[in-house]
A = this chain, B = another copy of it.
Amino acid sequence: MILTVTLNTALDITYRVRSLRPHASHRVSEVTERPGGKGVNVARVLAALGHEVTGFTGGATGRVVQEKLAAVPGVVDALVPVSGATRRTVAVVDDRSGDTTQLNEPGPTITPSEWSAFLAAYDDLLPAASAVALCGSLPPGVPVGAYAGMVRTARSAGIPVLLDTSGEPLRRGVAARPDIIKPNADELAELTGSHDPLRATQDARRRGAGAVVASLGPEGLLALTRDGRWRATPPTPVRGNPTGAGDAAVAGLLSGLVEHLPWPTRLTRATALAAATVRAPVAGEFDRGVYEEMLTRVTVSGEVSAA
């Protein structure tokens, strides 16, 4: 069982409009809703394996998130209820340009007792987990060192842990020595101060990350681990909606970790899943045909460490 943690779960709402014009009134032609938050997205991609999701939920939106999550086969919900309303995200898709305008609510304020209840649930779930993913932003009220503490708990229990967040929670979390981090280019530059991906991944490892897998958008992944350094590249730059591509890559890395696959195979899988997500018609889903095709077409180049 893989445990994916989503502290700031969301109800992801997508609106289709003919053409978005600021300061005008728009009739929404189509509404879709799905449970969201990075860890939930990771869990959905991992659903072919048996695994469990834990995170916060709350208020009226939280009930909807839980009901919708219950309908996803293979995902077991261990969400911890809170009194505030779970945040919504609204993506407005412009039919003419295909572009998306995103509006993200901040999330409810978590009380100290709710945070304690969450940590107790985390401790209970950890022993049964083969790996843990800590994903996304922290809702208001959760201490900025939350992920650092959760990384240490997982490591004490001997469970590999992947951290996918940004800003100060990432900086503190890295110092707690997670097994893998998966920053994008902006998050990596913010962490290290360097815009050179190779130099920045080296710096992030020195800060405490066991392996750094940087997602470089359409150019694929750059990985620096104790075993070596690799670059995984899709055959052509992939066009489409990048929502959820990073989460799909996390699912690829995690499943490869628990299956004890060598790094190049993990990176091929992660890159193929990300590309198949960008190409899927529904944001955050992946296209299985594209995934299987990409598995044979992603190239991995690099070198194994001499050490």
Q: A20-B22, A90-B90 are in contact. Are A104 and B27 (CB under 8 A)?
A: yes
Taken together, the copies of this chain in the complex come to 2
Q: A64-B60, A90-B90 are in contact. Are A22 and B99 (CB under 8 A)?
A: yes
Which residues of the other chain, B, contact A13 by a CB distance below 8 angstroms? 88
Q: Mark A1-24, 1 if CB is under 8 A from B, else 0.
A: 000000000000101010011111
Q: A105-B28, A106-B28 are in contact. Are A23 and B100 (CB under 8 A)?
A: yes
Q: Mark A23-38, 1 if CB is under 8 A from B, else 0.
A: 1111111010000000
> Which range holds the interface residue count of chain A?
20 to 34
A94 at the interface (CB under 8 A from B): yes
A296 at the interface (CB under 8 A from B): no
Q: Does A101 contact B23, Cβ atoms closer than 8 Å?
A: yes
Query: Separation in Å of the A19 CB from the closest CB of chain B?
Result: 9
A113 at the interface (CB under 8 A from B): no
A92 at the interface (CB under 8 A from B): yes
Q: Does B94 contact A26, Cβ atoms closer than 8 Å?
A: no
Q: Mark A41-72, 1 if CB is under 8 A from B, else 0.
A: 00000000000000000001101100100000
Q: A60-B64, A64-B60 are in contact. Are A94 and B28 (CB under 8 A)?
A: no
A97 at the interface (CB under 8 A from B): yes
Which residues of the other chain, B, contact A64 by a CB distance below 8 angstroms? 60
Q: Does B31 contact A99, Cβ atoms closer than 8 Å?
A: no
Q: How far is the CA of A85 from the CA of B31 in the complex (A)?
A: 11
- Closest residue of chain B to A99 (Cβ to Cβ) is B23
A111 at the interface (CB under 8 A from B): no
Q: How far is the CA of A292 from the CA of B26 in the complex (A)?
A: 34
Q: Which residue among A24, A64, A90, A97 has the maximum number of chain B CB atoms within 10 Å of its CB?
A: A90
A102 at the interface (CB under 8 A from B): yes
- Closest residue of chain B to A60 (Cβ to Cβ) is B64
